[in-house]
Amino acid sequence: MKDKFHALTESLLTQEELQHCILLLFCLGDSSCDDPLLEELQIRGYIVKEKDNRVITQKGKQYLSGLMQKLAQFHNAGEIIFQHYVEEELSPIKKEIHAIRMQWRTVRDKRLARKAELQKMGKDKAAVHKDSIYKALQKEQDALHTHLKHAEKKYHKKLANHVKNIGMLP
């Protein structure tokens, strides 16, 4: 999988093509932009200078379209490769995080229901917090919160390792 990703990145735009793409997209109408590459694009016939502004020609539009297609192909293929590569190891952790979250929500609902029940009985805030059932539910919710944070940390650590391993980060 890593080899496929590296082969894909090698087929990406060259540095020069990427600069051309940026200039054609963002610097044409800007008369203050004075880049030597703009002169090169003008010599190649991709842009023309009209009244202190640069305008893209039909040839330039075709060139830009080709560059954008290359970028789109890289984006789509890279996303598919990355999802396939990462999904195998991360899906069990995602399921674990989801299960812990659901359990945490259930305990939270029970705790809030107990609080409402105690308040209906006329207990004040201090008395509610001293209730043994309420305290046990609060303690369970705190423990689930800790488990959730640990599972999320594990997930993000594995995700970062995958990103680093396939060469997307230095």
- 51's torsion region: left (phi>0), alpha (psi -120 to 50) or beta? left
Which H or E run contains 52?
A: none
Query: 141 falls in which pLDDT band (50, 70, 90)?
Result: very high
Contact between 77 and 166 under an 8 Å Cβ cutoff? The reply is no
Q: Is 32 helix (H, G, I), strand (E, B) or coil?
A: coil
Which of 5, 122, 20, 27 minimizes the C-alpha distance to 64? 20
**Average pLDDT, integer, range 114-118:** 96
pTM: 0.53
Question: What's the pLDDT score for residue 170?
Answer: 39
Distance CA 148, CA 108 (A): 14
Residue with tokens 């060469």: 167
Rounded to whole angstroms, how far apart are CA atoms 24 and 14? 15
**Distance of alpha carbon 29 from alpha carbon 26, whole angstroms:** 8
Query: In the structure, what pLDDT confidence band is assigned to residue 103 with cuts at 50, 70 and 90?
Result: very high
| Chain position carrying tokens 């674990």 | 96
For the chain, helix, strand, coil in percent to 5 are 80, 5, 15
Confidence band for 121, pLDDT divided at 50, 70 and 90: very high
Q: Tell me the per-residue pLDDT of 10-61, one tens digit each, with 9 for 90 and over.
A: 566 677 777 777 777 776 666 566 677 777 887 888 888 777 777 888 888 8
